[in-house]
């Protein structure tokens, strides 16, 4: 492989890794805040993502604690403590303005709006 080709490949690899890291950081910044399901019928639910990776789910007067981790530019792993057990799920996440769409491993899609 010529020297020019090696340098070009190295530059492309670095640019690709930086782009992926930037996208991951961007999702990590955008997800922070409080979100409410669009279709929550008469049950008040608020999901709160904190900067430190902690997660609170408020359902009426109950609260579930957990944490989350941004794995890449569209994948978030969420872990919640419920009934003495920790339940984890990887979610495909897309945020567009004040709307967040998640898809779980079974293909269930949920839409949330940012709480202002």
Residue 18 domain boundaries:
3-114
Q: Residue 23's domain is classified under what CATH number?
A: 2.40.128.370
Element of type H or E holding 59: strand 54-59
Q: Where are the alpha helices (DSSP H) in the chain?
A: 3-30
pTM of the model: 0.76
Q: pLDDT tens digits, residue range 40-52?
A: 776 899 999 999 9
Domain count, the chain: 1
Distances (CA, A) of 1 to 7, 8, 9, 16: 10, 11, 10, 21
Neighbours of 30 (CB within 10 A): 17
Classify residue 15 by burial, with Cβ atoms within 10 Å: 0-12, 13-18, 19+.
Answer: exposed
Q: pLDDT tens digits, residue range 29-76?
A: 999 999 999 987 768 999 999 999 999 999 998 999 999 999 999 999
């Amino acid at each position: 492989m010529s020297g020019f080709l090696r340098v070009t490949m190295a530059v492309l690899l670095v640019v690709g890794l930086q782009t992926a890291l930037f996208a991951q950081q961007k999702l990590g910044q955008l997800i922070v805040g409080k979100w409410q399901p669009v279709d929550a019928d008469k049950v008040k639910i608020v999901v709160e993502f904190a900067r430190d990776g902690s997660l609170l789910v408020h359902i009426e007067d109950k609260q579930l604690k957990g944490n989350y981790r941004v794995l890449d530019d569209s994948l978030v792993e969420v872990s919640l403590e419920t009934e003495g057990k920790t339940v984890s799920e990887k979610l495909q996440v897309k945020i567009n303005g004040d709307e967040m769409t998640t898809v779980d491993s079974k293909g269930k899609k949920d839409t949330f709006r940012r709480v202002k």
